[in-house]
Amino acid sequence: MSRAVDLLIIGAGPAGMSAALRARGLGLSVLVVDDQPAPGGQIWRAVETRAGTRTGKLLGDEYAAGLPLAQAFRASGAVYEPGTQVWQIEPGWQVYMSRAQQAECVQVANVLLATGAQERPAPFPGWTLPGVLTVGAAQILLKTAREIPQDPPWIAGSGPLALLYMVQLLRAGGTIAGWLDTSPADGWRRALPHAASARHAWKDILKGLSWTRELRRAGFPIVRGVTQLRAQGGQRLEHLVYQTADGQSQRVAAALLLIHEGVVPSIHMTQALGCEHVWSVNQHCLTPTLDEWSQTSKPGIFLAGDGAGIGGARAACTRGELAALGIAMRAGKLQDDAARHLAEPLRRRLATELSIRPMLDALYPPRAELFAPPDDTMVCRCEELTAGQIRAAARIGQPGPNQIKAFTRAGMGPCQGRQCGYTVAHILAAAHGKPVEEIGFYRIRPPLKPLTLGELASLDSASNTGSDAP
Amino acid sequence: MSSDVFDVAVIGGGLHGLSAALQLSRAGKRVVVLERAWVGRHASGASAAGVRTLNRDMGELDLALESMEMWHNIGLLVGDDCGFNAHGQICVAEHPDSLSKLEERVSRLRGLGYTHEAIIDARELRRRVPAISPHCIGASIAPDNGAADPHRTLAAFRRSAQAAGVVIREGCDVRRIEQRGQDWSIEMDSAAVTDSALSGSQAHDRAPSSTLVVPFVVNAAGAWSGRIAAMVGDDIPLDTKASMMIVSERLAPMIEPVVSIMGRSLSFKQSDQGTLVIGGGLQGIPDLDAETSAVRMGVLSKGARAATDLFPCVRDIRIVRVWSGLEAKTEDMLPVVGAAVNAPGVFHAFGYSGHGFQLVPVVGAALTDLIVSGSTRRAIGALNAQRLMATPSAEVAA
In this predicted model, what pLDDT tens digit does every residue of B378-394 receive, in sequence order? 999 999 999 999 764 55
Task: Looking at the complex, report in whole angstroms how far the Cα of residue A95 sits from the nearest Cα belonging to chain B.
Answer: 10
Task: Looking at the complex, report in whole angstroms how far the Cα of residue A403 sits from the nearest Cα belonging to chain B.
Answer: 8
CA neighbours closer than 13 Å in the CB half-sphere of residue A173:
7
Q: Give mean pLDDT, residues B6-29.
A: 98
Query: Which pLDDT score is estimated for B87?
Result: 97
- pLDDT tens digits, B237-289: 999 999 999 999 999 999 999 999 999 999 999 999 999 999 999 999 999 99
Q: What are the angstrom distances between the C-alpha of A402 and each of A273, A385, A439, A443, B256?
A: 16, 15, 10, 7, 29
Which residue has better confidence, A467 or B221? B221
Query: Which pLDDT score is estimated for A4?
Result: 85
Determine the Cα–Cα distance for residues A233 and A129; give it in Å rounded to an integer.
8
- pLDDT tens digits, A271-310: 999 999 999 999 999 999 999 999 999 999 999 999 999 9
Ranges of chain A with pLDDT below 70: 1-2, 461-470
Chain pair A-B, CB pairs under 8 angstroms: 152
The sign one gets for the Cα dihedral B251, B252, B254, B256 is positive
Q: Closest residue of A to B294, CA-based?
A: A90
- pLDDT tens digits, A186-223: 888 888 888 888 887 888 888 888 999 999 999 999 99
Q: Is B217 in contact with B12 (CB distance < 8 Å)?
A: no
Report the candidate in B327, B332, B328 with the shortest Cα–Cα distance to residue B388. B332
Lowest mean pLDDT among A315-324, B61-70, B195-204, B325-334: B195-204
Nearest to A400 among B154, B193, B248 (CB): B193
Q: Closest residue of A to B45, CA-based?
A: A406
Determine the Cα–Cα distance for residues A131 and A331; give it in Å rounded to an integer.
50
Question: Cβ separation of A454 and B318 shorter than 8 Å?
Answer: no
DSSP structural state of residue B191? B
CA neighbours closer than 13 Å in the CB half-sphere of residue A383:
26
**Is the confidence at residue B197, as pLDDT, over 50?**
no
Q: What are the angstrom distances between the C-alpha of A69 and each of A43, A65, A66, A261?
A: 13, 8, 5, 29
Determine the Cα–Cα distance for residues B389 and B129; give it in Å rounded to an integer.
44
Nearest to A460 among B301, B316, B321 (CB): B301
Pairing mode, strands B318-329 and A84-90: unpaired
Query: Which pLDDT score is estimated for B209?
Result: 81
Nearest to B322 among A406, A446, A454 (CB): A446
Residues in chain A closer than 8 A to B160 (CB atoms): none
Phi, psi at B376, each rounded to 5°:
-140, 145
Query: Which pLDDT score is estimated for B338?
Result: 98
Q: Closest residue of B to A92, CA-based?
A: B296
Question: Cβ separation of A409 and B193 shorter than 8 Å?
Answer: no
Q: Closest residue of B to A450, CA-based?
A: B318
**Is the confidence at residue B235, as pLDDT, over 50?**
yes
Residues in chain A closer than 8 A to B305 (CB atoms): 456-457, 460-461
**Is the confidence at residue B230, as pLDDT, over 70?**
yes
Question: Cβ separation of B199 and A297 shorter than 8 Å?
Answer: yes
Task: Looking at the complex, report in whole angstroms how far the Cα of residue A281 sits from the nearest Cα belonging to chain B.
Answer: 14
Report the candidate in B224, B168, B244, B239 with the shortest Cα–Cα distance to residue B388. B239
- pLDDT tens digits, B323-352: 999 999 999 999 999 999 999 999 999 999
Nearest to B196 among A94, A105, A440 (CB): A440
To test the contact with chain A by mutation, choose from B39, B170, B319 the residue with the greatest count of A C-beta atoms within 10 A, namely B319
Cis link prior to A299 (omega < 30° from 0)? no
Q: Closest residue of A to B282, CA-based?
A: A469
Determine the Cα–Cα distance for residues A326 and A115; give it in Å rounded to an integer.
18
Q: Is A357 exposed, middle or buried (0-12, 13-18, 19+ CB in 10 A)?
A: buried
Task: Looking at the complex, report in whole angstroms how far the Cα of residue B118 sits from the nearest Cα belonging to chain A.
Answer: 31
Residue partners of A77: CB distance under 8 A and separation at least 6? A24, A30
Q: Give mean pLDDT, residues B149-161.
A: 97
DSSP, collapsed to helix, strand or coil, labels residue B303 as helix
To test the contact with chain B by mutation, choose from A275, A444, A448, A456 the residue with the greatest count of B C-beta atoms within 10 A, namely A456
Task: Looking at the complex, report in whole angstroms how far the Cα of residue B370 sits from the nearest Cα belonging to chain A.
Answer: 31
Pairing mode, strands A263-265 and A222-223: unpaired
Question: Cβ separation of B308 and A454 shorter than 8 Å?
Answer: yes
**Is the confidence at residue B397, as pLDDT, over 50?**
no
Q: Give mean pLDDT, residues B108-133.
A: 97
DSSP, collapsed to helix, strand or coil, labels residue A25 as helix
Q: Is B42 in contact with B251 (CB distance < 8 Å)?
A: no
**Is the confidence at residue B65, as pLDDT, over 60?**
yes
Query: Which pLDDT score is estimated for B393?
Result: 52
Determine the Cα–Cα distance for residues B19 and B33; give it in Å rounded to an integer.
11
Report the candidate in A428, A122, A299, A386 with the shortest Cα–Cα distance to residue B196. A428
The amino acid present at B362, given as its one-letter code, is V
